[in-house]
């Protein structure tokens, strides 16, 4: 049983605002490529590139923002973060109205007519807006996980990170749940209005930080620039940590396809009646249901062992997603409902992916927290998110190419038959990601053996 008394008020406040931030983020991010394509008129490749840079920056900056957070204090950092996020999400909500006022697009009667936006540079106003969200979000990545590390001990840290990860996924589930009914009720304009929901979530989080976030842990605050630089160089030259980040990147490249590939894939292959936001919601639901149990049964195992188990589940996940195209287009009768085979196998594949995540992510964060010196938790935990920078840039870039090659936009074809011929091998997309996941799993085993050998040599020396 989890006892509230085992953890501080700062710990619980940080976890609750993380829930709100995740609800805001996933409400928007699950449909960000659709927002970019359907609302602003970007192509598949352009939308994937923009989304990949945004997601990549969100995970590249935490090392730097984490170092700054250690210096200025976690509360001040969270105040800055949620202020920027609120401004950014509000910007996403009002940008289409600004473009409509400029006569570049017409959203009348939920129909989108591009009347000049495709040749206008004004749609690139999205760039500074997403930069604001990126900077704000980068502080969240380092400070919330840094708070978990600061407010716990080695004895209860594994459980603490499983609580954190459960809260992350409750927030993700909530955000994704909002998206489908909004789109169903408002068509593509729901892609715009979801941003008001996200603005509200981050505004509430900002108020909670103001009134409830109080911590007695102030190690590292007020450090000189020289001290920050020395610590920064130390962490970015840590070969053991960098190698693990690069290996775990393979897992996150596959996981990011929930947002890069899956929405367009299922809408094109299973039809516009498909519910990609709800399919993606299976991921946080399964994580919430399994993460504390998995952490408990893995308690006697090392973080690396737990991560390795999860890594070998990932190739099975990608192959399951591919298998939906093997059954033809006939709906499968499940007794209580019928479902397109693409959708059904996608849900099963996402479930396996979520189970893998429960084995990997909390223990990965625990591993990094144990390497962090006192007062440098923000920087080290920020650095731990670098895997998703590589995964975003590589995963979204690869996604744009694979979608164009194997599952192109039906609007680019004169007839439905021509599109069917062009997308007959759409499931090949998932074979690429199954291969990436398998290679990463094998490399993690090799990494574990090398690390064990190095540690044994070090012990023999002393």
CA distance 394 to 396: 6
Contact 322, 342 (CB under 8 A): no
Closest Cα partner for 198 from 165, 176, 215, 219?
A: 176
Give a yes or no: residue 1 inside a domain: no
Give a yes or no: residue 428 inside a domain: yes
CA distance 418 to 406: 13
Output 131-135 pairs: Cβ under 8 A, ≥24 positions apart: 131/57, 132/84, 132/85, 132/87, 132/88, 132/91, 133/54, 133/58, 133/84, 133/85, 133/88, 133/89, 133/92, 134/54, 134/57, 134/58, 134/61, 135/61, 135/65, 135/84
Residue 125, CA atoms < 13 Å, CB-side half-sphere: 16
| pLDDT top residue among 120 and 437 | 437
User: Phi/psi class of residue 217: alpha, beta or left (left: φ > 0; alpha: ψ in -120 to 50)?
Assistant: beta
Residue 195 pLDDT: 92
Residue 230 pLDDT: 85
CA angle 244, 26, 174 (to 5 degrees): 115
Closest Cα partner for 36 from 260, 337, 341, 302?
A: 260
Give the pLDDT confidence of 246-295 residue by residue, as tens digits: 999 999 999 989 888 998 899 999 888 888 878 888 998 999 999 999 99
Both structure tokens of 58: 């969100």
Give the pLDDT confidence of 171-198 residue by residue, as tens digits: 888 887 877 787 677 777 888 888 999 9
- Residue 268 structural domain: 9-461
Q: How many helices (H) and strands (E) does the chain have?
A: 19, 4
Give a yes or no: residue 2 inside a domain: no
- pLDDT above 70: residue 374: yes
User: Phi/psi class of residue 109: alpha, beta or left (left: φ > 0; alpha: ψ in -120 to 50)?
Assistant: left
Give a yes or no: residue 277 inside a domain: yes
Alpha helices in 102-156 (DSSP H): 126-150
Q: How far apart are the first and last CA of the chain?
A: 40
Give a yes or no: residue 4 inside a domain: no
- pLDDT above 80: residue 309: yes
Closest Cα partner for 355 from 393, 313, 325?
A: 313
Closest Cα partner for 215 from 395, 391, 12?
A: 12
pTM of the model: 0.78
CA distance 53 to 421: 32
pLDDT grade, residue 444 (50/70/90)? very high
Closest Cα partner for 188 from 263, 110, 267, 260?
A: 110
Residue 110 pLDDT: 66
Give a yes or no: residue 435 inside a domain: yes
Q: Is 333 helix (H, G, I), strand (E, B) or coil?
A: strand
pLDDT grade, residue 3 (50/70/90)? low
- pLDDT above 90: residue 215: no
- pLDDT above 60: residue 2: no
Residues contacting residue 329 through CB under 8 Å, at least 6 positions apart: 340, 341
Residues contacting residue 186 through CB under 8 Å, at least 6 positions apart: 110, 193
Give a yes or no: residue 261 inside a domain: yes
Give a yes or no: residue 3 inside a domain: no
30 φ/ψ angles, rounded to the nearest 5 degrees = -65, -25
- pLDDT above 90: residue 445: yes
Residue 216 pLDDT: 72
pLDDT grade, residue 384 (50/70/90)? confident
Contact 109, 418 (CB under 8 A): no
- How many domains does the chain contain in total? 1
pLDDT grade, residue 130 (50/70/90)? very high
pLDDT grade, residue 4 (50/70/90)? low
Alpha helices in 73-125 (DSSP H): 74-101
Average pLDDT over every residue of 75-95: 95
Residues contacting residue 170 through CB under 8 Å, at least 6 positions apart: 19, 22, 284, 288
Q: Which residues of 29-59 are buried (b: 16+ CB within 10 A; e: fewer)?
A: bbbbbbbbbbbbbbebebbbbbbbbbbbbbb
Rounded-to-10 torsion of CA 80, 86, 88, 92: 180
What's the CATH number where 250 sits? 1.20.1250.20
Residue 220 pLDDT: 64
Contact 427, 247 (CB under 8 A): no
Both structure tokens of 434: 């199954």
Both structure tokens of 12: 């619980």
Cα 369 to Cα 8, 132, 381, distances in angstroms: 18, 27, 6
Residue 133 pLDDT: 95
């Amino acid at each position: 049983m989890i006892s509230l008394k085992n953890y501080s008020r700062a710990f619980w406040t940080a976890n609750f605002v993380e829930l709100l931030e995740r609800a805001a983020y996933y409400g928007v991010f699950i449909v960000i490529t659709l927002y970019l394509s359907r609302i602003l008129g970007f192509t598949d490749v352009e939308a994937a590139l923009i989304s990949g840079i945004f997601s990549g920056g969100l995970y590249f900056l935490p090392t730097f923002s984490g170092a700054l957070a250690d210096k200025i204090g976690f509360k001040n950092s969270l105040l800055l973060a949620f202020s920027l996020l609120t401004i950014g999400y509000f910007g996403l909500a009002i940008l289409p109205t600004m473009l409509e006022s400029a006569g570049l697009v017409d959203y009348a009667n939920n129909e989108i007519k591009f009347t000049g936006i495709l040749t206008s540079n004004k749609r690139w106003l999205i760039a500074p807006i997403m930069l604001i969200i990126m900077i704000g979000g980068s502080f969240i990545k380092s400070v919330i996980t840094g708070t978990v590390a600061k407010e716990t001990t080695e004895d209860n840290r594994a459980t603490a990170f499983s609580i954190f990860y459960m809260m992350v996924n409750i927030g993700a589930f909530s955000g994704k749940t909002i998206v489908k009914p909004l789109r169903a009720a408002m068509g593509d304009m729901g892609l715009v209005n979801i941003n008001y929901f996200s603005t509200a979530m981050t505004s509430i989080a900002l108020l909670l930080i103001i009134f409830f976030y109080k911590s007695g842990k102030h190690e590292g605050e007020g450090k000189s620039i020289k001290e920050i630089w020395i610590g920064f160089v130390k962490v970015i030259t840590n070969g053991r940590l960098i190698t693990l980040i690069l290996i775990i990147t393979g897992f996150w490249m596959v996981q990011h396809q929930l947002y890069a590939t899956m929405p367009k894939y299922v809408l094109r292959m299973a039809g516009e009646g498909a519910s990609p936001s709800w399919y993606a919601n299976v991921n946080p639901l399964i994580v919430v249901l399994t993460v504390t149990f998995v952490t408990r049964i893995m308690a006697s195992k090392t973080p690396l062992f737990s991560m390795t188990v999860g890594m070998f589940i990932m190739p099975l996940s990608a192959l399951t997603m591919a298998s939906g195209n093997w059954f033809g287009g006939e709906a499968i009768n499940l007794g209580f409902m019928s479902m397109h085979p693409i959708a059904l196998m996608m849900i099963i594949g996402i479930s396996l992916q979520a189970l893998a995540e429960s084995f990997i992510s909390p223990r990965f964060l625990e591993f990094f927290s144990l390497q962090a010196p006192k007062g440098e938790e923000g920087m080290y935990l920020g650095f731990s998110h670098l895997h998703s920078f590589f995964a975003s840039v590589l995963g979204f870039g690869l996604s744009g190419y694979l979608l164009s090659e194997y599952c192109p936009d039906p609007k680019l074809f004169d007839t439905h038959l021509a599109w069917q011929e062009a997308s007959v091998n759409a499931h090949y997309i998932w074979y690429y990601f199954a291969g990436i996941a398998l290679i990463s799993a094998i490399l993690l085993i090799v990494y574990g053996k090398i690390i064990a050998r190095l540690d044994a040599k070090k012990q023999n020396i002393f």
